[in-house]
Amino acid sequence: MFHRMYNAVQPRLVTEFVYRHSSVHKDALVYMSMETSGNEVDFSGDVIQSLEGLGVYALDITGDELGKTHAKHLAGGRPGILQGERIIRFEFPENAGALGQFLESLHDSGGYLTMLHYRNHGGQVGKVLAGFFVPEGDDDKVSGILDGLGYKFTDETHNQIYLDFMR
């Protein structure tokens, strides 16, 4: 589903993406920021319509300071323990299609994305924190997929900050 949402907003420049699956809620929470070229008349309306076509509830918070400044950092909250979840921190190359390539590579992993926070910091790399549900016994398969991407990454599943504040 995350991949379908990504495709629905293309070719717009996504500058931030926060996604969190929950073990206690039916729907995931997504926070997305995009940059416009200025030539689009109803930029947010087009994006919302594309997402609603997938059954996704979407809300434009362009004029909402609370949403823009604070809520995005709390998006998704603490879902509790998601058995089989691995937390991986990445550095994506800042080029068109890097996020899409990442999502495509996961398509045949047997798991699914449980969390994603992507932030373009205006440099050579985008900083990404991702969570994956990895089916039991498929750790080596998923590790091979991650290695094959060629993106620098670190497994943060046992990081104390994650364990104490994000789970």
- Look up the pTM and report it: 0.61
Task: Give me the domains of the chain, ranges plus CATH numbers.
Answer: 2-73 (no CATH), 85-166 (3.30.70.260)
The contacts found for 13-16 with CB under 8 angstroms, 24 or more apart, are: 14/99, 14/118, 15/119, 15/120, 16/72, 16/117, 16/118, 16/119, 16/120
The pLDDT score that the predictor gives to residue 159 is 85
Starting from the edge strand earliest in sequence, which strands make up the sheet with 29-35, in order?
Answer: 29-35, 13-20, 112-120, 125-133, 85-93, 152-155
82-102 per-position pLDDT tens digit: 788 888 888 888 777 777 888
Tokens for 41, please give them.
Answer: 């008349």
What's the average pLDDT block by block, 10 residues per block, for the chain (167 residues)? 83 75 68 72 80 84 67 58 83 78 80 78 76 86 86 87 70
Q: pLDDT by residue (tens digit) across 100-127?
A: 888 888 877 777 888 887 776 666 777 8
